[in-house]
Each structure stands twice: as structure tokens, then as C-alpha cells.
Amino acid sequence: MSATTDYVEVEIAVAADVAKVWSFVSDINVPAQFSREFQGAEWLDTPGLGGTFRGDNAVGDYKWSTTSIVTDFTKNKSFAWTVGSVEEPVAVWGFALSGSDGDVLLKMHATMGPAMSPPRASAAKDPENAETIISKRLHQWSKNMTATVEGIKSLSEQ
């Protein structure tokens, strides 16, 4: 498992004002409208840089919650958070906006690790199939991320 294979990024062009796209990107519950896995979130303290929130997730009958820390909250530019500790995250997620009003490039990215997560634990127990295990999980992430940016595009262009 190398760092290059544990990273996913999707992007989409959005014909809307940057501030409007930002309003959806910076709302921690908007992705739940589009992701088949992410169920919603709740701020545990003050929203914004350094804030923490609980995220609820489900795949089939398997449900879990995570605690995330906001590590980047630059208005109209970027929003990112780590799952678990900042020093050793289970995952790092984020959005980035670039361009100008009417021509915004929206990117969503995610990095698995370096801390142990269920897919990494499965891969460690089955080294022969480790690459396939991680690849399948990143593919699931990519599908949900694509649905999320497409949904944000749709909301922003209304």
C-alpha cells in the first residue's frame, strides 16, 4: 500500500458563484444528500477551523461513527478535515475551489491513512490481496465523492 494508491480525487466544473458553491461545500451535511455511505454529521463544538464533528456512516448493515477535526477552512477556497487524530489520521478528506464566479472548479479529495482503518486492517491480515482490498475501498470512495460533487454542482447551478 503506497501513498500514491491511497489517494482519490474527483473534480467537476460548476457554473455558479464561488460563494454559492462554498455554502454547500462548507455545510457538513450536504454530502449526506448524495453519498450512499455518509449519513450525516453533527458539530461537536464551534464550526470552522479547529472545530470537531461526528460523522455517521453506513455500508449495508454495517454502521459506524467517526470524529473529525477541521484542518482547513478557508472561505471560498478550501475545507478539509482529518478523521481521528491530526498527527496520525485514519483518513483526510477535503474540498477545494478554484476559478471565478460562473466558472468554478470543484475538487473533492481523500487520503486513506496513515493510521489503521478497517480496510487497512483487512489488507494487513491478507497481504496477498492487500492491493485489491484497498483498491476496492478507494473505488467506493470515488463513487460517493463523484455523486457528492455532482450533487453540489446541481444545487449550486439552481
State which residues form the domain around 56: 3-156
User: Residue 130 is part of a domain; what is its CATH number?
Assistant: 3.30.530.20
Contact 34, 151 (CB under 8 A): yes
Q: Which residues contact 41 (CB under 8 A, 6 or more apart)?
A: 28, 29, 32, 53, 54, 55, 56, 68
What is the pLDDT, as a whole number, of residue 117? 86
Q: Say what the pTM is.
A: 0.92
Domain count, the chain: 1
What is the pLDDT, as a whole number, of residue 3? 44
- Tens digit of pLDDT for each residue in 77-102? 999 999 999 999 999 999 999 999 99
Which backbone phi and psi does 2 adopt, to 5 degrees? Answer: -105, 160
Mean pLDDT across the chain, nearest whole number? 94
Spatial distance between the Cα atoms of 81 and 68, rounded to a whole number of angstroms? 6
- Tens digit of pLDDT for each residue in 13-54? 999 999 999 999 999 999 999 999 999 999 999 999 999 999
